[in-house]
Each structure stands twice: as C-alpha cells, then as structure tokens.
Structure 1
C-alpha cells in the first residue's frame, strides 16, 4: 500500500476516534437524552453538532435509531421543540404576568413544524395559553392557533415538483450543516416543500429554499444526477472517498459535470456495481 494512502487512512481513523473527554461527554449526553424533553433536545443537538456519534456511526440519523430507537422525525422533533422552548423563554413578555411554559414536546409539535419566526412562536404560545384559560395548552389548541395565524398570513407557494432549489438553513436546526445543498422538489404543500437531496429528504418552509431557475432540460439532468448520488449514498460500508465525492457534487449547483467529474462518478458506480442508464 503506498505511503500516502496509508497516511490518509490513518488520518481518517484518527478523525473518527473520540478522545477520552469526548467519549465521557458522549456518555453523559446520552443519559440526558433519556430524561426530560428539554434536556433531551439540548443533548441531541450537541451530539449532532459536535458529531460525537462519529466513532460508531456515519450519520446522526443512524446513531439515533440504534442508540435511542428514535426515528429521524422523532429525533429532529425533540431538537426543534427545544429550539422553540428557548425562543419562548426569550420572546414571551415579562411584564409581571407569569405565562406557563410547555412541559412536553407534544405541546410544541405543531409549533415546531410550522417553523414560524421566533417572535411569532411566542405570540402563538401566548394566544394558546389564553385559549386554554391561562393554563398549559394541549397540542390541539396550539395547532388551532398556528393554523389561524398561518391562514391570515398565507403566501402562495411559488415552487413546483421537479424544480431544483438550494437549501437555506437560516434558523432551521434540521438544516444545520446543509448550507448550499441542492435538491429536487418532490412535494409542494401550502407552506412548505419536500426536497430530495443526495443524503435524504427534507421538508422545509419556502423561506428556506432558493430556486436555481433552470431550464426544463437542465432540471432533468439534475434530477437524474440526484438519483445517482442517492444510490451511492445507500451503499453500505462504502469507502470514505465516496462521501467526499457525494458532498462535493451535492453542493455543486450546476446542471453539468466536468469531464473528470463524470469519469469519477462513473468509476465509483462501477466499483459498487451500480448501473446507470441516462433517461431521455
């Protein structure tokens, strides 16, 4: 094995391994996840942001499933609910009146999924508390207030299925680390879109998308490229070099590949017996 290749493999292994301090922190945060919903969300957020799962898992989603038996949606809901809770602490009025705070993530489920601005989240919670007789509101009451506010500020969804867009994370915790990712719109809702990227599907509000405004044939090329990248991402125990290629092409928001990029992608596909026939 050439010296450079041995050095690269050693470096990749060193990056994945945790220090004793990181391993201790990981165990501490894992115990916190199993306690209260607020601590769980905060712990999951730190586990994700610091990539403390990397010594045993390639992705945060796989780690949550194996370690806590959380689906992707369940894990990110806990994180989103924590972000909403912290926004409520910051933006609820403090004029001598004590407003009860949420006690579980179910009460914040619809508020978290609505992805409203922090000050609007606080307004929704305050209205929901009033509607509940100044008590902690149920998830259903919160949903009613969310629906009422969204209906009064409804903006037509400008996107369509098959359109190519770039993800704009802003304050969305689900999109942290995804800045610049491009994807294909696969579903259009009233207030959000589901976008397919090389590493999964993301349902986001329209404020988190920017259209590339491509011609139809360019959109078709990007759609096909997305399928190819997704197929590679699904290969089990793939070489780490494949992830470098996926991340690079997954952020290259252009409707073409260079000659070298095309050869690299085709070579990797052959390595894993993936057959690709261009659709016309």
Structure 2
C-alpha cells in the first residue's frame, strides 16, 4: 500500500516529466486571440515597410532606407527585408486558399528560396500535412524546401542566416576570408550577402559554410551589423576602421567585453 511519501514522490515525478500546465477553455481562447493579434501585426509591418520602401516615403528625413529603418525602428535593413518578404509570402498563401496560415516571419523564411508563388504554396501545404494540419515549425518547412530543390541543387542556407565566408581563390571574395555574411537573397546555388562593410552578389554556396547559429544568434549579428553600418558614413581613422574590420570576422554571435568597449568607444567618438 503506497504511503503519503510515495504519493508525493509520484506527483513530483509527474511534474518533472510534464513541465507544461494546461489552460482553461477561457485562457486558451484568450491565448489564441492574442497570438492572432501578434501575427497580424507581423504581416501588417511587412506590408507597411514595403510601401515605405517602394514609395521612398523616408526621403524627407533620410537618404537611405537602411538608415531610416535603423534610426526609426531600431533594426537593420535586412530585418525590414525579411518582414517584407514574409508579408509577400503570407499574402500568397492566404490568396491561394491555404487553410492553415503561418504565425511568424521565421516560419516562412525558408520559403524565400522558392521564387515562384505556386511552389511556396506547395511547400507550405506539404509541411502542414507533415504536422497533421497544424502550423509547421521552421525546421519542418526548411526540410520540405530542401527536398523540393534537391534535384537541382541543395542550398543549405536561408534568408537571414549568418554564414561564414571561405574565400579560397575566388577573386570576388578577396579580403573576405573568415568574415561573416548575412544572407539577403538566394537562388538554388548562390547567395547574396551583407558583410560588415559591403554587399556581395551571387556567391556560390561552395564558398560558404554553415555556422549553425540559432535565430537569436542571427539577430545578434544583424544588430551588430546595424551598429557598424551607422559608422560607415563617418570619416573614420585607420584604427577605427581596423576595429570594425576585426568585428566583421568574429566567429561567434556575441562580442567579448573588450570588443564591446572598443565598439562603444568608436561610436562615442564618431556618432
């Protein structure tokens, strides 16, 4: 016959095995309503940014869309581009009659490699089927896209991912060996990259390596790029340029305390 102590241990084991707590019907309804508000805000932001960019409605205060995004919204041009692309994909899925729709930009980001709208719909539907009619996670969508493009080539990268550059003997990558790059556009076999100081177009995937950064890691590098980008228009001394060049080659998604202090010093002097 189990003792009280045995029952307490059993209850603790059950709590350890299942750390989640169920919601009441009212709480679940509230959760779904709030998630819907957040999701719609993401797509609305993408559509708004697209119009701001296309109509150049930033031109009364800023010379470039990149600086406008950084100073107005606190994020990089790349982040705005991701939201714009995601909004386009979302509208495509919705207009095509998809019953299950994405809830975040990150979930549809892998679909960016599929330039034809019907292929985006096909990939999304396959991912939804794999998840038994539920909204698929990022990795499921990414795997479906890989399978669909495998016959032509298998681009392992995706929009917004941070990759490492392996220059080898590619003259287009002179001075970029070891630098990180943010994927801003891609085809089956190439990627466009934003490095710390310029943009590179149509880089073959054989010159890139996966860094296996998480979404938070990629956001950290994007934020770093935004800080560096703000300094590019200043008349920097050679030493200051050297600091930025050093940060353009870090092989981790964070700055050491010394690197952070160095960057802050440059920002304090030139901004």
TM-score, normalised via structure 2 length: 0.46
> Larger relative contact order (C-alpha < 8 A, sep ≥ 6)?
2
TM-score, normalising length from structure 1?
0.45
